[in-house]
Structure 1
Amino acid sequence: MHDGLLKPGDRVPSIRVLAQELQVAKKTVEAAYAVLVGEGYLVSRGPQGTQVNPALTVPPRASETAPVRQCGNHDLLALNEHEGFLRPGLPALDRFPYKKWLLLSARATRAMRPEEMVNPPVAGYAPLRAAIASYLTLSRGVVCTADDIFITNGYRGNLLLTVQALLGAGESVAMEDPGYFLGQRLLKTLTPCLHAIPVDNEGLQVDALQHHHPDARLAFVTPTHHSPLGVSLSLPRKQQLLAWASRHNAWIVEDDYDGEFHFTRNVLPSLKSLDTDDRVVYIGTFSKTIMPSVRIGYLVMPRAARHAFLESGALLTGGQPLLIQKILAAFLTGGEFYTHLRKMRTLYQQRRTMAITALHAVYPGVFETPLEDGGMHVVAYLKNATCDEALARLWHQHQLQVSALSPWYRRPDKRYGLIIGYANLRSAEEAVALLTRARAETLALLNG
């Protein structure tokens, strides 16, 4: 009531219902309601139930912010001015169902029991693990149960736990080239032997892996939507990669990067769904489907290595915060997650079109944008220049937080361009206005 979540005139749960929800005695709730009635916060209406006193006025505290509301254009503009526009990997913050999330958050907070405030389960909150297993089975073809799921603190947690559980001292790791820059930096700190495997329009070149690094113990791949190029690993190469892992007793870590967002065709089956020998560790997060600050990831443990994951997880993490897991579980099981994903697929297709159209209108002849299906960013290759790092620094000065492509490569035969996020573009006019910010300086740099 002080925070404005319950307003004057709102009904509150009955004594019986609230006692059941909180799993406490009815007398406890009766006593609490009696105190609130006595202090003027609640009024009893007999058969109509108990409600917040319609005459209640709570003066706002100086330190309070305004009540949480739907993120509007002004809010998003202020955020972008602070964090930067066109950031790759940032979901559409203006279309997230904040009100529903707030309701689920309040409900989960009220339902926390004292015994849940000690140490969380190491592998994660059981209902969330079950909800993720159901989602992966239905949407990604990954047949698994709650016992196969391990909850982590996101992408970093997924990598750290996998390496700790599966990689021995001195064993080597293979990774796509180009590959996700954060993954490269993490893996370089975890293993002395990180091999760069080239990627073409069919994804990872498995022949190069087999020929040059057949002894790799782990292979990290983004087969559904490559990070950052957006290509998909072809079915023959998926089968070839799985055969390599089985033959060499190796492991494949499948990062289902942007796997939920495809626009012009059906969602491709995950690599894990084809894995008959259980050699694939499937990893994912909620940073793009919900929001980055959730900081919750998950992985599907191979059953033969489950003990190693549980043992390593107990050592590394001791479990993730329980409250956010309970909120997530409610978001998934209540159907809001699936509704949100469906809306975002349509929205991102529209915003991608706006971004590409604006880019070629503002910079005709400068960029090439192959139309890869899906994702949340566009790779704009420079046609006649190699100065993508200088160009990215220039755009950053105008609060355009694009990424240069070439640093994502480890091998010398690299391509040059910009990785441009479009998920938060609200109109074609805004796309043109943003891209025009650095136009004069960009053309001067390219023509200098």
Structure 2
Amino acid sequence: MTRPNRILLVGGPGYQLQKAKDLGLDVVYVQTEQDFSPEYRDLVDDVVLTDYTDWPTLRPLVEKAYEKWGFTAAVSLTEPGLDPVARVNDLLGLGGTPYEVSHRFTDKWLMRRRLAETPSSGLRPVAAELVDGQDSLVRFGETHGYPFVVKPTGGTASFGVTVVQDRAGTEPAWHHVQHLRDGSGHPLIGAYEIDRFVMEEYVEGPLYSAEAFSFGGRHVVLAVTEAITEKRNHVHVGHAIPARLATDVEEAVADTAVRFLDAMGFRDGSTHTEIILGPDGPVICESQNRVGGALLTDMIQDVYGHDPMSMAIGWPMGLVEPLPDRPERRGAAASWLLLADEGRVERIEGLDEIRAAPDTVAVDLWVGPGDQVRPFAGQWDGLGHIAVRGPDTDTAVARARAAAGRLRIHTRPA
């Protein structure tokens, strides 16, 4: 028999379990064995330890868990869990986002195809094709011009993204694609199939994101975030809300996100939609049907008074009231990516002082003594984030950068 207060939560860190408990929910937790900690036991009714990205393995385990526990909704707020949860929704008739819609977000090629098939959305089209050998890179450049972008159709955090500047750059770009297909050795990509790559027209302009929540097909943009990007490798080293934009431009970015979600057929839950402010206006970069990373949920709660992570867990359970309109802000916040020299971590200084500072919103540090720090080649090579509040965005950004500088992660060469 189903229990109206029981949810299936797939993947994600332990603090999401606590958010579910704070909502009064019982939890059946699906997690990989290496990512499950014993202290999570007190927060869950049952645990399914498996590679949840392997659907033939996950399906019978979920069916048994459903027969035993009778959860009424399935949720994931981590990228590798989005499609598996959508499959669970379809399998058990739980409602929520179906696999067809979810996969339009997790597969960047399908996203481009969907937008090309819905010209009524009014969104500015972006030329895109699948990579099929170095010749395809050359043809794309000759047809659509240089530079252009090459990136995996799956994955997240800007992993594998490269910009082809000219015809000479097609050869190293093709070698880069082959290297990633053969296995780059990066420890954090096992959950993604890095096999297909898409070429996209390059759109010049700064990057923003719309953090939205959808209530039965009505989309409310909670915040427009400014991404501060490292030009060398296109990594977002900082995030700030509210974005430093004129009111009419900010509204255009939010409207672009709403029209995009309609075109994608998305109806319920959190989304993080990245938008380039190009010479001709906002252009969709990509989107995820989940909450944004980089402590954005903490910053949104601090500035706008709503926690999109708790909303995403509570909405399918009927525990969240729809927002009538975009929320009013109170101050600003910014987060900054934490970095260190390559090597093995020896000690960390300044963490307690930063956590205790009155302007600190949150700290998310992923390493400790003994952990290995990789060369900084992409966002996944960052070590966490620090989020700081301020009376305005300029002040918040300055404070976040200063706080990141005060956290000293000492390493020794491996």
Q: Return the TM-score normalized by structure 1.
A: 0.26
* Higher RCO (CA-CA < 8 Å; seq separation 6+): 1
Q: Name which one, 1 or 2, has greater alpha-carbon Rg.
A: 1
Considering fraction of residues, name the structure with more helix: 1
Considering fraction of residues, name the structure with more strand: 2
